[in-house]
């Protein structure tokens, strides 16, 4: 059985066996390579779990590196991330801690996490939450995002946002407008504002910011102190209320 150099290095790094120590720049000859392959093969046969452990370790390191990269980008874009004009803000506008969520109304993970976000807002009356309308799941998502931003212009973003997240049927443009009426919005004004330059610019700005942050999907959350956010916590993907609360508490301490 032959092993690629990358595989050999990965497995060797995860194993705790004694092997000959060679000089840093030494090149293994054919006999030494064969001997090492034999040692690795025998070890794997006796300890097959090291392959899984090695892969898991590699994945963890890659995830940590990716998270650090996003957090570094977030620091460079802190103003647009936490204080972009026109972004819907829920909770205490002057809260000590700000939590930002990039989401899509048709993202199942975002929908599943919505109750946790709602509960978090209720449990933390001094928390500032910024919602980034980031429609990446087709035209209906774009329509929903535009409607939500137009609702924000009428001061009814939170009510409408919750109705969209709790919608149990397939989301369609007609359903979106029906929910807008349920939220007490002026639907005709909403439709006009949806096609306005302000809403269009807001969505384009969020797309650009997401690109600058190297975001790969939704949901994506960021937490930091509202004033002078010099340390930003990135939460990639869906999580629960307990983890969100711990993050808010940690950032605010």
Question: What pLDDT score was predicted for residue 18?
Answer: 40
Over residues 87-93, the mean pLDDT reads 97
Task: Check whether 20 has a pLDDT greater than 70.
Answer: no
The kind and range of the H/E element at 33 are helix 30-46
Question: Of the given ranges (38-52, 80-94, 103-117, 220-234), which has the lowest mean pLDDT?
Answer: 38-52
Instruction: Please count the residues of the chain.
Output: 253
- Residue 252 buriedness (CB in 10 A; 0-12 / 13-18 / 19+): middle
Q: 53 Cβ partners below 8 Å, 6+ apart?
A: 14
Count Cβ atoms below 10 Å from residue 93 Cβ, excluding itself: 9
Task: Check whether 110 has a pLDDT greater than 60.
Answer: yes
The position carrying tokens 């869906």 is: 238
pTM of the model: 0.76
Question: What pLDDT score was predicted for residue 44?
Answer: 79
In the Cβ-directed half-sphere of 126, how many Cα atoms lie within 13 Å? 8
Alpha-carbon dihedral angle through residues 201, 223, 221, 55, given to the nearest 10 degrees: 140
Taking only the tens place, the pLDDT of each residue in 162-221 is 999 999 999 999 999 999 999 999 999 999 999 999 999 999 999 999 999 999 899 999
Cis before 219? omega within 30: yes
Cα(12)–Cα(9) distance, integer angstroms: 5
Cα(140)–Cα(136) distance, integer angstroms: 10
Pick from 206, 174, 166, 205: which is nearest to 191 by CA?
A: 174
Of the chain, the percentage scoring pLDDT greater than 70 comes to 84
Task: Check whether 5 has a pLDDT greater than 70.
Answer: no
Domains of the chain: 5-54 (no CATH), 71-252 (3.40.30.10)
The position carrying tokens 């930002």 is: 100
């Amino acid at each position: 059985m032959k092993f690629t150099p990358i595989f050999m290095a990965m497995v060797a790094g995860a194993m705790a066996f004694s092997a000959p120590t060679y000089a840093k720049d030494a090149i293994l000859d054919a006999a030494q390579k064969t001997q090492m392959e034999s040692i690795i093969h025998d070890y794997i046969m006796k300890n097959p779990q090291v392959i899984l452990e090695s892969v898991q370790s590699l994945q963890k390191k890659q995830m940590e590196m990716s998270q650090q990269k996003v957090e570094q980008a977030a620091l460079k874009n802190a103003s647009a991330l936490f204080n972009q004009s026109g972004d819907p803000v829920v909770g205490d506008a002057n809260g000590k801690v700000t939590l930002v969520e990039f989401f899509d109304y048709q993202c199942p993970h975002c929908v599943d996490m919505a109750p946790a976000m709602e509960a978090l807002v209720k449990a933390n009356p001094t928390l500032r939450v910024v919602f980034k309308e980031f429609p990446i799941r087709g035209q209906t998502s774009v329509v929903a995002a535009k409607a939500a931003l137009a609702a924000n212009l009428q001061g009814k973003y939170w009510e409408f946002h919750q109705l969209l997240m709790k919608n149990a049927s397939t989301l369609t443009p007609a359903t979106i407008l029906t929910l807008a009426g349920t939220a007490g919005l002026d639907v005709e004004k909403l439709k006009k504002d949806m096609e306005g330059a302000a809403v269009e610019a807001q969505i384009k700005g969020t797309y650009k910011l997401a690109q600058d942050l190297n975001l790969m999907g939704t949901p994506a959350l960021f937490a930091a102190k509202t004033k002078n956010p010099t340390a930003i916590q990135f939460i990639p993907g869906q999580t629960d209320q307990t983890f969100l609360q711990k993050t808010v508490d940690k950032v605010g301490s």
